[in-house]
């Protein structure tokens, strides 16, 4: 079991950089990795001279300096032969201790699947398809249209519809956030109160590589408001009554937290933090009523926040998946662990329709294992996953559900622990 970090239960209103600091301290104790270097599968590397040459941008490496980045290394790089040749140039020494979160055995399930997926994309594009590009245009148009109609008619119905299109915008942003810091579409998440700069830490680094664990920021940060990896919490008997309201305001709470950190001098003001403020000013310029403008603006933000949090939790937190304290024995193989903590559903709903309905998360298992593969390409490699499971006699762990089954299981989990 992965140990908890000290800030657990206080993370919702704290800077995600505290999580990074605590994770680095824990990795230093586990592996002996120096604060200015990086640990990858038993070896210490000094990548400081490689930062500007890194194809994925220097931000990911800067944020994870002094940490074990083994999971990130494998999940984000499909051509391991090329990457390993580069990595070898920056080798420093063997690690003091080898204590990895997961096993990446050469002949294990995940590494085998990784090789096959890597071979598949050697001759194919893993980036955005034409369908994805057209979807981006459609979603942005839908958001601008509904936002404009909200301003024009000052209607809460239009505001809610705009909130839904913002939920889809966030799904698009999520897809491109994983494809590097040079992707301008990552800024679509800043239309919502969720800063893409923070989500690189809380989602791309934390949640993606340690789902449902004690260091999954997206799970532990909502304690004590939501049942996560602890078996019971003092106020959980009221959970079914207030949790959806909490989901609606979490993005607002994180935005307020960011403002407080800027005032304290703990974080610098970034230009994208002003995007939601500009949205409010635009609404106000139409209705010239500060209170009404604020209500319309918050209707958009809260509905998008609710959808963006409620749905992902349903596919991770249910009675079918592993989390700390459950009866399921977690695997040390990274790929099997991802399957144990993540659930696909309704696979017959393909891109682009699933982007509008589910942010493409109904094909979520392979996205967790290979986040740099564009969401529109994920269905192409599902047959590789099924064949690899068959070769390892693991077909039984890949369960297929409908959204309604997952929703029911999620509610049962909440009610039985509330």
Q: Residues 190, 194, 198, CA angle at the centre, nearest 5°?
A: 100
DSSP 8-state code for residue 159: H
Nearest alpha carbon to residue 320 among 386, 400, 219, 207? 400
Q: Measured between alpha carbons, how far is 413 from 407 in angstroms, rounded to an integer?
A: 10
Kindly tell me if the per-residue pLDDT of 237 is higher than 70.
no
Q: Given this model, what pLDDT does residue 231 score?
A: 46
Q: Which two tokens stand for residue 94?
A: 């063997």
Structure tokens at 140: 């942005």
Tokens of 39: 């640990």
Query: CA–CA separation, 73 vs 162, rounded Å?
Result: 37
Q: Are 397 and 335 in contact (CB under 8 A)?
A: no
**Averaged pLDDT for residues 273-296:** 96
Is residue 311's pLDDT more than 70?
yes
Q: Is 24 helix (H, G, I), strand (E, B) or coil?
A: helix
Question: Is the pLDDT at 140 greater than 50, yes or no?
Answer: yes
Gap between the Cα atoms of 333 and 347, Å rounded: 24
What's the token pair of residue 279?
């949205």
Give mean pLDDT, residues 113-122: 96
Report the helix count and the strand count for the chain, using DSSP H and E: 17, 3
pLDDT at 14 over 70: yes
Dist. CA 225–CA 228, nearest whole Å: 9
DSSP 4: P
d(CA 360, CA 340): 19
Q: Say which residue the tokens 């309604």 belong to.
A: 404
CB 403, CB 362: distance < 8 Å: yes
| Mean pLDDT (whole number) for 86-111 | 93
Question: What is the share, in percent, of the chain residues with pLDDT greater than 90?
Answer: 61
Of 379 and 329, the structure prediction assigns the larger pLDDT to: 379
> Band of the pLDDT at 22, cuts 50, 70, 90?
very high
pLDDT in tens, 146-200: 999 999 999 999 999 999 999 999 999 999 989 877 788 888 999 999 888 999 9
Report yes or no: 66 and 28 within 8 Å, Cβ to Cβ. yes
pLDDT tens, residue by residue, 374-407:
999 999 999 999 999 999 999 999 988 888 998 8
Per residue in 52-95, pLDDT (tens digit) is 999 888 989 999 999 999 999 999 999 999 999 999 999 999 99
Looking at the whole model, is its pTM more than 0.85?
Answer: yes
Q: Render pLDDT for 350-361 as a digit per residue (tens, 0 to 9).
A: 888 888 888 888
E strands in 333-403: none
H or E segment and range at residue 92: strand 91-94
**Domains and their CATH numbers in the chain:** 11-122 (3.10.120.10), 130-314 (no CATH), 334-416 (no CATH)
Per-residue pLDDT of 190-227, as tens digits, reads 999 988 899 999 999 999 999 988 888 888 887 766 66
Strands lying side by side in the sheet with 38-40? 38-40, 43-45, 91-94
pLDDT of residue 362: 85
Pick the range with the lowest mean pLDDT from 33-42, 229-238, 378-387.
Answer: 229-238
Nearest CA among 230, 194, 210, 260 for reference residue 15: 260
């Amino acid at each position: 079991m992965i140990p908890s970090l000290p800030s657990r239960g206080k993370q919702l209103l704290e800077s995600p950089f505290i999580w990074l600091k605590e994770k680095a301290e824990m990795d230093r104790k586990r592996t002996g990795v120096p604060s200015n270097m990086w640990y990858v599968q038993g070896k210490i590397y000094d990548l400081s001279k490689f930062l500007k040459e890194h194809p994925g941008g220097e931000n990911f490496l800067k944020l994870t300096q002094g940490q074990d980045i083994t999971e990130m290394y494998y999940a984000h790089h499909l051509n391991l032969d090329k990457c390993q040749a580069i990595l070898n140039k920056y080798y420093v020494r063997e690690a003091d201790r080898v204590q990895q979160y997961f096993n990446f055995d050469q002949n294990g399930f995940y590494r085998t699947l990784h090789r096959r997926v890597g071979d598949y994309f050697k001759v194919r594009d893993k980036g955005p398809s034409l369908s994805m590009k057209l979807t981006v245009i459609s979603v942005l148009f839908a958001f601008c249209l509904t936002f404009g109609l909200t301003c024009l008619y000052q209607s809460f119905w239009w505001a809610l519809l705009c909130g839904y299109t913002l939920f889809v915008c966030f799904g698009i942003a999520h897809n491109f956030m994983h494809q590097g810091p040079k992707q301008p579409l990552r800024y679509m998440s800043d239309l919502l109160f969720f800063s893409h700069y923070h989500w690189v830490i809380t989602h791309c680094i934390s949640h993606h590589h340690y789902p449902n664990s004690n260091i999954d920021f997206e799970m532990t940060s909502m304690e004590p408001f939501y049942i996560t990896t602890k078996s019971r919490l003092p106020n959980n008997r009221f959970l079914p009554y207030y949790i959806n309201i909490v989901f609606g305001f979490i993005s607002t709470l994180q935005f307020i937290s960011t403002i407080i950190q800027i005032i304290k001098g703990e974080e610098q003001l970034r230009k994208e933090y002003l995007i939601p403020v500009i949205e409010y000013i635009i609404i106000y310029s139409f209705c010239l009523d500060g209170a009404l403008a604020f209500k319309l603006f918050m209707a958009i933000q809260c509905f998008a926040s609710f959808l963006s949090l409620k749905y992902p939790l349903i596919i991770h937190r249910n009675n079918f998946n592993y989390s700390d304290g459950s009866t399921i024995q977690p695997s040390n193989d990274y790929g099997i662990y991802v399957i144990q903590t993540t659930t696909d559903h309704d696979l017959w709903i393909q891109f682009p329709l699933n982007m509008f309905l589910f942010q493409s998360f109904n094909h979520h298992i392979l996205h967790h294992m290979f986040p740099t593969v564009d969401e529109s390409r994920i269905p192409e490699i599902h047959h590789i996953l099924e064949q690899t499971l068959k070769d390892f006699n693991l077909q039984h762990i890949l369960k297929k559900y409908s959204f309604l089954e997952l929703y029911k299981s999620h509610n049962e989990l909440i009610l039985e622990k509330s």
